[in-house]
Amino acid sequence: MSYFITYKNTAIHFKDIGKGNAIVLLHGFLENHRMWEDLIPLLQDKYRIVSIDLLGHGKTECMGYIHTMELMAETVMAVIKHLKLRRVTLVGHSMGGYVSLALADVHPDYVKGLVLMNSTARADTPEKQLNRSRAIALVKQNHTAFIRMSITNLFRPKNRSLFRNKVNTTKKEALKTPLQGIVAALEGMKIRPDREVLLHFSPYKKMMVLGKKDPILDYSSLIAQTQNTEVEVVELPDGHMSHIEDFKLFSSNLIHFIENL
């Protein structure tokens, strides 16, 4: 079922289905709750699945010029409290992983498990911050072209034709994202702090899902973050969109992690 709550005069949209231990699904940049549509049927018979549209994405409104990861985490926490959930498993894709880390940093008692999917606990490098600023300039010049290019670049090159229909569907959903939402998210990601310490010192179980051919994230950096930690690492063969490019492997590993919490 689809629902809205109002937080700080802003409409926050989410879907809530199933019963049992709660799993909160957080999409990435230019995505929305619909990215999880293939996964949810595999989980809803055993678990309560809450998929949330983050600020400025999907059907959730914008809240100012910069959507920090902390502000996005506040809105997720507002939904969690509204639903009276006690301890949840957070599954965050890319930007959704940054939001999951921000929430877990402030509210560790609410977290039963944390899954970072094609995401990183490290802050942007100066080079990456510069690229974000360039992206903001680009999106202001040509909103549509920026989105089409950005979505294409998330996939491993050979998969762009192999998953053409999924790529096109993802682009259509991304094109619904308003300019303000795109800029606010880019500004927020650019200034997010490093939270690698949470991979070492936190009370909940953690898993990192990474693509060996991810065009966006550096594989060696992700591996380095998990050294000397108890983080379960799942290495998949393809790109940044594990829920599409490696759906069977991703979903089976996620289900195994959740079942063993």
**pLDDT number for residue 125:** 97
Taking residues 67-84, report their average pLDDT. 98
Alpha carbon distance 252, 154 (integer Å): 22
Residue range(s) defining the domain that contains residue 21:
2-259
pLDDT band at 254 (very low <50, low <70, confident <90, very high): very high
pTM for the whole thing? 0.98
Asked if 23 and 43 touch (Cβ cutoff 8 Å), the reply is yes
CATH number, domain containing residue 186: 3.40.50.1820
Task: Kindly give the pairing relationship between strand 48-52 and strand 10-17.
Answer: antiparallel
Paired with 50 in beta bridges are 16, 24
Tally of domains within the chain: 1
pLDDT in tens, 129-162: 999 999 999 999 999 999 999 999 999 999 999 9
| DSSP classification of residue 203 | S
**pLDDT number for residue 70:** 98
**pLDDT number for residue 119:** 98
As a whole number of Å, the CA-based R_g of the chain is 17
Asked if 231 and 82 touch (Cβ cutoff 8 Å), the reply is no
Residue with tokens 């879907």: 15
**pLDDT number for residue 195:** 98
**pLDDT number for residue 250:** 98
Residues 6+ apart with CB under 8 A from 233: 207, 208, 210, 223, 226
